[in-house]
Structure 1
Amino acid sequence: MSESVTPSYDPNWRRNLKVLWFGCFMVGMGFSIIVPFMSLYIDTLGDFSQSELSFWSGITISSTFLVMALVSPIWGKLADTKGRRLMLLRASLGMSIIIALMGVVTNVQQLIILRLLQGVFSGYVSNANALIATTVPKEKSGQALGTMTTGVVSGTLLGPLFGGVVAQAFSYRVTFFITGTLLFLVFLLTVFLVKENFRPVQEGQKVLNIRQIFQNLPYPKLIIGLFVTTLIIQASNNSVNPILSLYVRQLLGNDGTVAIVSGIVAALPGVATLFAAPFFGRLGDKIGTQKILIGGIAFALILYIPQAFVHNVWQLGILRLLVGISDAAMLPQVQTLLAKNSPHEVSGRIFSYNQSFQGMGNVAGPLIGSFVSSSFGYPGVFLSTSLLVLINLIWVTINTRELRRDQKQ
């Protein structure tokens, strides 16, 4: 099997892991930090009705992930020919500039354009995973990839808390400037501390195409199914993003603390995930990762329905905290299954394909939430999300059947 990057076990791989974990954490925060107040920020850029605000919020949030879904395979292939470290530098520097510029926009159209450009500069996480997978000792690869997963997941889920606190203490615009500065720090750390022994494709060799990659996978249908599962998980998680702060504002009765309370409510899943993910990871190694994934989706189904009928923000907060436990049993488990069932030689492109499906889910989720909230109100978003989770539960149960059968033999 030919591949542009031959695994080389750098003795400094632990430093790479630490720096890239921090980078993934900050990139996760950079994508999610404005979630608690995106709708509120857009509300300051014009005079919108509730339906117009929901519409523009959905478009703005989704635009980044639409572009990400389209360009991720391109960056993944380019990384195989130019090196993963170069792609890390491109993504971190580009995002730091683009996100900082979001703090100076004067209308929603300018904000959407910058969100589209943010998607162009995606690829940090997938390339970080690929670099780690091809530079750590083979016996440490699973542990290292699991650690990387906790970085981006915790950053994505804790970002709203940081964003809400900063927005409440200073302003919405200052949050963008701080985020851009932190991502520029990631760029500098990557420049000076991340090392890669990149080996380009030698003459006479060629990079495997998509068909060849999947022909060499032990469970190609499982991998494709996990891509779809990622899409549905992300769509489910992000369907509430356009309306979460508005829902909190409705429950609070337009209380002045809506920004920070929205941030806390949005961050609660992240807090639970941080504590629950290591436990589920160890349990998955004992009883089967796919069983943890199925259980997590079933638990999420139970949690989304009552969120439509809460009467105060505390009830919503408790349910969102429990959602974090279900997230810990879903998002990291998908990454683990991809790592366990994909040869390391093609892990870069496998992760980039998965990021494309993640981007598609991030696009679909907010659009679904915006459409449903405009037609059926905020509670309808949680009910429609429950339907998505049910579909995912059925899909994963069927898709992992072959793997479960082989493990019993």
Structure 2
Amino acid sequence: MINSLAENKLAPNSWQRNLRVLWFGTFMAGIGFSEVMPFLSLYVDSLGKFTHNELSLYSGLAFAASYFVTALASPFWGKLADRTGRKLMLIRASAGMAIVFIFMGLVMNVWQLIGLRLLQGVFSGYISNANALIATQVPKRRSGQALGMLVTGNVSGALFGPLLGGTLASIFSYRVTFFITGFLFVMVFLVTTIFVKEDFKPTAKSEMLNTRGVVGELSNAKLVFGMFVTTMIIQAANNSIVPILSLYVRQIMDNSSATTFYSGIVAAVPGIATLFAAPLLGRVGDRIGTDRILIIGFILAISVYVPMAFVTNVWQLIGLRFIIGVANAAMLPAVQAILAKNTPPQVTGRVFSWNQSFQAMGNVAGPMIGSVVATSFDYSGVFLSTAILVVINLALVYHNTREMRQARKI
């Protein structure tokens, strides 16, 4: 058996120190990833003279490129993490991102930017490896609480990032903001290198399990792969409304001059709810069953997405979006906790990297679904189609977690 429980040689509470350090790392990574998003299309526009259609195409490519490559590259990095350790992958990801963002500030044309966005996908994996490292170190009975706490780092960073990025870009320039983002990842690299502790014995390449061997190590492979699909659908549902959210706000506000301001609130409020609710729901899931929390999250999301299609003012939408944030706090950490509780340490890196691939596929598929539905029907149709996605996910999860429910009855 490979390398089995080397991580458990750490001091009993070392995972708590690592959790604090990685919370900071994921917070800074969340800022770094999100702070360039508000002006990325504007940066594309500054790199040449484009028609409206060309600008839309190049901006779309710049946004989607990193997610597409992440989906392809994650399994490779996951396999390497199981052979060399998760800390090394955290260092690799943070150093790579620092270099990529600094070079993004130096590009001379849009194709160089798209190429670097593709390279950004190659250097993905900080968040997934942070989850994997904590999952291998935290006691299983507390994994929901720990992973719920870790989620808040990335969420809070992603909330703060657009505000910081927009402010920096307005004070300095787009290029300087990319340099500052690169410096943030340098900080993540240094903090991770110095403070994260992992007692990991490297495994010889010849002793590594192939994909079939990894699946064989899983006590419930059907559940684990079901969680991959669940992750993809959660991300697709969350992102399906992204392309039309500001347009929907403008519609229900009758083209008000305050549309931009309220669009920002509507976009940010789910993250605020997730930030506060995730640790609490993680602890509750550890007590009553993580699968129950996940199912509750789906039911809550379904009950909210449907009325979103029929709101008559922006405050109704803001209130419902806050509840979606609570639902996300139930769903996202719960999936991570179920994976952690059903994955042996020696293959955790690959399992979490496969999950990241499915997450990236959801990030790509969601906006495409939303755009197609909005074009064929209307903005309200996007919320209804998203509710249908969540219903499908609920049915899959209820079926896949049947053994967990039966085990509790024994």
Scaled by the length of structure 2, the TM-score of the pair is: 0.85
Shift of 1:238: 1.5
* Residue equivalent to 1:344: 345
C-alpha spacing 1:168/1:312, structure 2 compared with 1 (3 Å): farther
CA distance in 2, matches of 1:243, 1:48: 22
CA distance in 1, matches of 2:55, 2:177: 21
- Is the aligned partner of 1:2 residue 2:2? yes
Amino acid at match of 2:73: V
Check the 8 A contact 1:5/1:200 in 2, yes or no.
Answer: no
Amino acid at match of 1:235: A
C-alpha spacing 1:157/1:351, structure 2 compared with 1 (3 Å): farther
Show the 5 A alignment for 1:126-145.
126-135=128-137, 143-145=145-147
Shift of 1:194: 2.4
1:65 to 41, 64, 67: 67
Deviations 1:58-95 (A, max 9, x none): 44332211111110110111223333222212211221
1:147 to 146, 149, 155: 149
CA distance in 1, matches of 2:161, 2:3: 36
2:91 to 89, 104, 111: 89
* Residue equivalent to 2:371: 370
Check the 8 A contact 2:140/2:341 in 1, yes or no.
Answer: no
CA distance in 1, matches of 2:326, 2:147: 20
Show the 5 A alignment for 1:13-92.
13-36=15-38, 38=40, 49=52, 57-92=59-94
* Residue equivalent to 2:354: 353
Amino acid at match of 1:231: M
Shift of 1:335: 0.7
* Residue equivalent to 1:237: 238
Deviations 1:315-344 (A, max 9, x none): 332222221011011001111111112222
C-alpha spacing 1:135/1:299, structure 2 compared with 1 (3 Å): closer
- 2:188 is paired with a residue of what secondary structure? helix
CA distance in 1, matches of 2:222, 2:288: 22
* Residue equivalent to 2:117: 115
- 1:201 is paired with a residue of what secondary structure? coil
Comparing 128-137 with 209-218, greater Cα deviation is found at: 128-137
CA distance in 2, matches of 1:244, 1:177: 30
Deviations 1:151-176 (A, max 9, x none): 23443455445445555666665544
CA distance in 1, matches of 2:316, 2:54: 28
- 1:329 is paired with a residue of what secondary structure? helix
CA distance in 1, matches of 2:324, 2:291: 19
- 1:355 is paired with a residue of what secondary structure? helix
CA distance in 2, matches of 1:315, 1:48: 37
CA distance in 2, matches of 1:103, 1:246: 30
* Residue equivalent to 2:301: 300
C-alpha spacing 1:346/1:149, structure 2 compared with 1 (3 Å): farther
C-alpha spacing 1:374/1:162, structure 2 compared with 1 (3 Å): farther
Check the 8 A contact 2:223/2:401 in 1, yes or no.
Answer: yes
CA distance in 1, matches of 2:146, 2:263: 33
Amino acid at match of 2:80: L
CA distance in 1, matches of 2:42, 2:312: 22
C-alpha spacing 1:143/1:305, structure 2 compared with 1 (3 Å): closer
Shift of 1:350: 1.4
Show the 5 A alignment for 1:277-316.
277-316=278-317
| Identity, % of aligned positions | 60
CA distance in 2, matches of 1:173, 1:261: 28
CA distance in 2, matches of 1:402, 1:23: 36
CA distance in 2, matches of 1:310, 1:65: 32
Shift of 1:186: 0.5
* Residue equivalent to 2:217: 216
Check the 8 A contact 1:142/1:340 in 2, yes or no.
Answer: no
C-alpha spacing 1:140/1:334, structure 2 compared with 1 (3 Å): closer
Deviations 1:113-161 (A, max 9, x none): 3321111110112222333344556776665444323323443455445
Check the 8 A contact 2:3/2:346 in 1, yes or no.
Answer: yes
Gaps of 5+ in 1: none
CA distance in 1, matches of 2:103, 2:315: 35
Check the 8 A contact 2:227/2:339 in 1, yes or no.
Answer: yes
Number of aligned positions between the proteins = 406
Show the 5 A alignment for 1:183-262.
183-201=185-203, 206-248=207-249, 251=253, 253=255, 255=257, 258=260, 261-262=262-263
Amino acid at match of 2:7: P
Amino acid at match of 2:342: N
Check the 8 A contact 1:60/1:115 in 2, yes or no.
Answer: yes
- 2:202 is paired with a residue of what secondary structure? coil
Shift of 1:306: 3.4
Please report the RMSD computed on the Cα atoms of aligned residues, expressed in angstroms: 3.2
CA distance in 1, matches of 2:171, 2:313: 24
Amino acid at match of 1:191: T
Check the 8 A contact 1:7/1:345 in 2, yes or no.
Answer: no
C-alpha spacing 1:287/1:121, structure 2 compared with 1 (3 Å): same
Check the 8 A contact 2:9/2:199 in 1, yes or no.
Answer: no
Gaps of 5+ in 2: none
CA distance in 1, matches of 2:381, 2:44: 22
- 1:330 is paired with a residue of what secondary structure? helix
Comparing 5-14 with 379-388, greater Cα deviation is found at: 5-14
CA distance in 2, matches of 1:175, 1:291: 43
Comparing 60-69 with 29-38, greater Cα deviation is found at: 29-38
Deviations 1:12-71 (A, max 9, x none): 54433222221122223333334455556656666555x776665544332211111110
Amino acid at match of 2:202: P
